[in-house]
Chain A
């Protein structure tokens, strides 16, 4: 889906920040707790990592950006937990206000509705019977598509042609797995794109590789 999360090539974000030497893993205490809560919430909600990334994609601009990386993890956790009816919408904010001494009514605990879903194996890698559809060195094009749901095909690559550089192990397709519609395992290809193919004749000379699932690709003539 079109989302704030799909940032590749977008403008308006200002300069890059020089790395600082000794940044703590969690600059503020809540960030570590939000991190751990998120890892556990994926499991508690009966969802998966693709659904978690899709939850991030569905956040509004403020929910995605205002509290940084761990803020968006927290907000995505809330979305997964309310989608699976582990928490009622508004439950976190009501509790947070009560923690500050307000006295607001908290919504009742809903009947859990976890997705009807179980992975076929741990992790995302899978063995598939078929041979890869594309070979190393072959010219391919990223399909010019705009899926309504989750996808890992970045907008800036759509419609552009590149060359298969590596065939990576087959893996669960995020586009369906995020929606609990099956794993659809397929080969993943590291495809190299020239900067001028992506950004036009004035671009700096460089190349970009991305890992693209087989169903994102078509043969390029």
Chain B
């Protein structure tokens, strides 16, 4: 495979991307409109706000919570979220004593319909390599210190099954409504590298 030019300098990826786009569009193999639609979709519609709505619903409605934990894919679809990388989503709950954290050691598999595309730290080799070897240390480096008696389960996403964490609802939020809870729920908490904080 060629990733360096004959003149010895490496061709920047932006330029190679432009070249590929030209080569495929000038032969009618792809439609630039379809490309733009995909980009807009993932920049605006598919992101962690979707997951935050799922979490806030589960926190405020026990039946929704139970359904989400029993059949994540269906419960999430009922809230209007489905599509690529969401064929089978399993939701696991974090509590004061059990902590789940999601990784993909082989590539960067991630539940796009509820969390959008993965953030840079999730795709980083340090995260991918070390989370299955020393999760407590990795979480601490990322800013989450867990008590010694908390049981950690790392979920390595090696098939098309996608994992989402239902974070623990923070104390002091009992009076908040579903709509008020949504903005508290972070992407990081739904992957398991952070906890949700009360406002």
The chain A residues found within 8 Å of chain B, CB to CB, are 5-11, 13-20, 23, 25-30, 32-37, 39-41, 44, 53, 56, 59-60, 62-63, 65-71, 74-75, 77-79, 81, 86-87, 89-93, 95-97, 99-100, 104, 109, 123-125, 152-154, 156, 166, 168-169, 171, 174, 188, 190, 192, 198-199, 203-213
With CB as the reference atom, state the residue of chain A lying closest to B152: A206
Measured between beta carbons, the chain B residues less than 8 angstroms from A36 are: 34-36, 38-39
The chain B residues found within 8 Å of chain A, CB to CB, are 1-7, 10-11, 13-24, 27, 29-30, 34-36, 38-39, 42-43, 47, 84, 87-88, 90, 105-108, 116-121, 123-138, 141-143, 151-161, 187-188, 193-194
Measured between beta carbons, the chain B residues less than 8 angstroms from A44 are: 24, 29-30
Query: In the complex, what distance in Å separates the CA atom of A96 from the CA atom of B43?
Result: 26
Dominant secondary structure at the A interface: mixed
A17-B1 in contact given A5-B106, A37-B20, A95-B19 (Cβ < 8 Å): no
The list of the 3 closest CB pairs from A to B, nearest first, reads A8-B105, A211-B159, A95-B19
11 A/B residue pairs, CB under 8 Å, sorted by A: A7-B105, A17-B126, A19-B188, A63-B1, A78-B16, A87-B23, A92-B23, A96-B19, A188-B159, A211-B158, A212-B158
Measured between beta carbons, the chain B residues less than 8 angstroms from A78 are: 1, 16, 20
**Option from A77, A93, A199, A212 in Cβ contact (under 8 Å) with B2:** A93
Measured between beta carbons, the chain B residues less than 8 angstroms from A190 are: 90, 161
Say how far A216's CB is from chain B's closest CB, in angstroms: 9
Query: In the complex, what distance in Å separates the CA atom of A162 from the CA atom of B55?
Result: 31
Whether the Cβ atoms of A40 and B120 lie closer than 8 Å is no
Dominant secondary structure at the B interface: mixed
Whether the Cβ atoms of B193 and A19 lie closer than 8 Å is yes
Measured between beta carbons, the chain B residues less than 8 angstroms from A28 are: 14
With CB as the reference atom, state the residue of chain A lying closest to B116: A25
**Option from A37, A87, A104, A207 in Cβ contact (under 8 Å) with B30:** A37
Whether the Cβ atoms of A152 and B20 lie closer than 8 Å is no
Measured between beta carbons, the chain A residues less than 8 angstroms from B129 are: 7-11, 13
Whether the Cβ atoms of A209 and B156 lie closer than 8 Å is yes
Measured between beta carbons, the chain B residues less than 8 angstroms from A95 are: 19-20, 22-23
